[in-house]
Amino acid sequence: MTGYSPALLDEIRTGVDIVELVGRFVNLRKAGVNYKGLCPFHAEKTPSFTVNPKKGIFHCFGCGVGGDAFAFLMKQDRVSFPEAVRALAKTAASGHASTSPSVGSIPRWPDASASASPPRDGTAC
């Protein structure tokens, strides 16, 4: 085996934007929840190559290729699985560094409105 744990592979996979990755080689257009483009693995004139960003996978209805980000890079760059993992690990790491979605987007808790209306319990009578 390659020595990569499934957890690590999962982490890399979620850190990589497959649309961005495929978009480096294929001109992708948004089509509903998916992205479509001309397949880089076979000659075609009408796009049958789709990328599903939610699942992080690609599939071509023309030639039948498909898989995740690792599989795409292996096919595209003709590299082995460990090489694809290493390349995407770099991509994932740099992606995390440039965009930090958890910092700065935390909504402030509206503590003022929480105590603005005290409950009436009828003790005034």
Burial of 65 per CB tally in 10 Å (0-12, 13-18, 19+): middle
DSSP-based three-state secondary structure for 120:
coil
**Rounded to the nearest whole angstrom, what is the least distance from the CB of residue 85 to Zn ion in the complex?**
23
Pairing assessment for the beta strands 49-52 and 66-68 based on DSSP bridges: unpaired
Residue 60 in contact with Zn ion, rule: CB under 5 A: yes
Q: Please identify, using beta-carbon distances, which residue of 33 and 63 lies nearer to Zn ion.
A: 63
According to CB under 5 A, which residues from 35 to 54 bind Zn ion?
A: 39, 41-42
Q: Please identify, using beta-carbon distances, which residue of 15 and 62 lies nearer to Zn ion.
A: 62
Tokens for 9, please give them.
Answer: 């592979």
Residue 84 in contact with Zn ion, rule: CB under 5 A: no
**Rounded to the nearest whole angstrom, what is the least distance from the CB of residue 89 to Zn ion in the complex?**
27
According to CB under 5 A, which residues from 103 to 122 bind Zn ion?
A: none
Tokens for 32, please give them.
Answer: 């509903």
Tokens for 110, please give them.
Answer: 């509206």
- Of the CA atoms within 13 Å of residue 18, those in its CB half-sphere come to 24
Residue 62 in contact with Zn ion, rule: CB under 5 A: yes
Q: Residue numbers of the site for Zn ion (CB under 5 A)?
A: 39, 41-42, 60, 62-63
